[in-house]
Structure 1
Amino acid sequence: MSLKSVRKFAKEVLNEENNIDILINNAGVFNHPYMITEDKLEVHMAVNHFSNFLLTNLFLERMISSKPSRIIFVNSFFYKSGSFNKNDINMDFMNSKQFFKYANSKLANAYFARELDKRIKDFGFSVYTVDPGMVHTQISRHTTPAWFELLLTPVSWLIKTPLEGCRTVLYCAISEELDGVSGNFYRNCAREDWSKVCSDDDISRKLWDLSEVATRLNDLRDNNNRGLNQ
């Protein structure tokens, strides 16, 4: 995974599409073996946060011109277990366990979504964050062996199919009920309160600044795509 691929994808879309009405940030890895990407970023933060941050900012100008537009972040309730270290851009914490790397990256998602919502209030589009719940996908392939999945068969009804898992995502993407509403967290097509763990405005702004540096966002902006700054 590299941020170069994100920039390449964004360029292709911007060249082909005059309007971007909905952006669903669903890229993610879970409990991936320890890896540092070519951008010198820990893989959970690289995929789950920095790629979303970069892609969203590269699309902002086009989305503003396409308003009303919506941005949806696919998150997880595990963000509540995350923590932030302003001196460690990878939120790596001395090679902490992979689960906490995932939780930290999802906390970064939450902070980014909330900070983005503050910055785009006057630009005519909305931001939503979704927890799809436990969904049977390949995201747990680095953690769950095939034999363990067989043991889960008796309780498989507790785990959503991909179709079931995308319902809240689609609800936030197209529901007319949410017109004029922005910045909230949703699960099972219903709003839930944000955890206090992502309520620090100073961290929110600091993470945005760190993310701009990590993704070299300011180097990529041109007269047609300046992103949002404060």
Structure 2
Amino acid sequence: MSPYNFQTTAEEVARDCQNAIANKTVLVTGVSPGGLGAEFAKVIAVHRPSLIILASRNRLKAQQTADEIADIAPTVPTRVLELDLASQTQVRNAAQEVLAYDEHIDVLVNNAGIMASPFALSEDKVESQFATNHVGHFLFTNLIMSKLVKSGHCRVVNVSSNGHQLGPVRFHDWNFDNGRNYDAWLAYGQTKSANILFSVSLAQKLGNKGLTSVSLHPGTIHTHITQGNLDELLKSLTKWFRVLGYFRDGQNDISWKTLSQGVATHVFAAFHPSLTATENNGSYIQDCTVLKREDVRSWARDPIEAEQLWKLTEEIVGERFAY
């Protein structure tokens, strides 16, 4: 029985994991002030990690978070990394920068993302949510893999969502017929299913090298990711959850979490000792609890779909990663 629940705070979990946090080099993507990544970095900073690398497409915002960490934990070094996940060229440049670091990386938290945005193509002609939420993280993680497995015991955390319930990866039409069939929430659901499948693949392919990879649902939290009209977004999301059968009889049970409650699962996924390369590897976590396989939609946990996604993404980035 997990000692944690929906209300558990990040500070509580971090205190329980303080020995695991100490002296670790942690890289987190998506660190704008007020967001989940920044909150995660600040919470773990008080437990003496050896270095926190703050990756963001906006250096200024990442530096603001670095300044906040300096106020909380002045002895903990931080480093800003420019990382634009929507650009494969820039992801490759950022990866080269990381490969030049002296330090290996113990924990990578792929936290950055966009949600339910209007249809747009990235510079690589990939639907923007798929490009940012999945393809960019896939490419970045694989390009810096030598920095991760070097430690012998590393973790890759992919921040997904219960939005994966909205639908599978559309292997034959992942760009929504270049926008002609586009629905912002179905596109978001595709990326969140991809995040879980990516963890399944990493666990399968690299568990024997000491890599633990898990995915998570942080909960519903009001952050800057909810761009645009929040009421309209929630109305359209609720409609999809009703159509798909998750809400019934007019129910709308979107339960909100505070920032700290949301980040609790980040901290658990990144550091809790119950997760290892042999135990719970590839699992999906919610409320700091490993969910049973039957509680995750089949399309987000199937090893065949995971391998299919791996091959599709290799085609999109034009590079193979064989382990």
Q: TM-score of the superposition, structure 2-length normalised?
A: 0.61
Whether the 8 Å contact between 1:91 and 1:104 is mirrored in structure 2 is no
200-209 or 115-124: bigger deviation: 200-209
SS of residue paired to 1:217: coil
CA offsets 1:178-214 (integer angstroms, 9 cap, x no match): 2442111111111112321224333221211110111
**CA distance in 2: counterparts of 1:91 and 1:55, whole angstroms:** 24
Mapped contact 1:73–1:109 kept (Cα < 8 A): yes
Greater displacement, 8-17 / 22-31: 8-17
Cα separation, 2, equivalents of 1:183 and 1:164 = 23
The letter of the residue matching 1:51 is G
Partner of 1:38 in structure 2? 123
Q: Would you say 1:201 and 2:303 are equivalent positions?
A: yes
> Quick check: 1:82–1:105 contact (8 Å CA) kept in 2?
no
| Closer, same or farther: CA 101–5 of 1 in aligned 2, 3 Å | same
Displacement of 1:23: 0.4
Q: Which residue of 2 aligns with 1:176?
A: 273
Give the superposition deviation at 1:160.
2.1
Deviates more, 1:29-38 or 1:134-143: 134-143
Out of 166-175 and 40-49, give the one that drifted further: 166-175
| Residue 141 of structure 1 pairs with residue 227 of structure 2 | yes
The one of the two structures with greater contact order (alpha-carbon pairs below 8 A, sep at least 6) is 1
Tell me how far apart the structure 1 counterparts of residues 197 and 229 of structure 2 sit (CA, whole Å). Answer: 26
Q: How much has 1:81 moved relative to structure 2?
A: 1.6
- Greater radius of gyration (CA): 2
Deviation sequence 1:106-158 (CA, Å, 0-9, x none): 11112221122111121111011110001121111134169x9xxxxxxxxx4
Residue type of the partner of 1:191? V
CA distance in 2, matches of 1:215, 1:17: 27
Given the superposition, is the C-alpha separation of residues 116 and 76 from structure 1 closer, same or farther in structure 2, using an over 3 Å criterion? same
* Equivalent residue, structure 1, for 2:157: 72
Equivalent residue in structure 2 for 1:165, among 262, 266, 274: 262
What 5-or-longer segments of structure 1 have no aligned partner? 149-157, 219-226
Deviations 1:40-60 (A, max 9, x none): 000010001101110111121
Partner of 1:5: 90
SS at match of 1:79: helix
Q: Is contact 1:33–1:142 with CA below 8 Å preserved after alignment?
A: no
SS at structure 1 position matched to 2:208: coil
Give the RMSD, CA atoms, in angstroms. 2.2
Q: Is the 8 A contact 2:176 2:182 kept in 1?
A: no
Question: What CA distance in whole angstroms lies between the structure 1 residues aligned with 2:197 and 2:274?
Answer: 24
State the identity %.
29
Structure 2: distance between partners of 1:124 and 1:213: 27
Equivalent of residue 141 in structure 2, options 56, 61, 68: 56
2:157/2:214 contact within 8 Å kept:
yes
CA gap of 1:133–1:120, structure 2 versus 1, over 3 A, is same
* Unaligned stretches of 5+ residues in structure 2: 1-85, 235-254
2:224, 2:155 → 1: CA distance?
27
Q: Is the 8 A contact 1:76 1:131 kept in 2?
A: yes
Quote the Cα distance in structure 2 between the aligned partners of 1:98 and 1:70: 30
> 2: CA distance between counterparts of 1:84 and 1:171?
27
Between the two proteins, the alignment pairs up a number of residues equal to 212
Deviation at 1:89, TM superposition (A): 3.9
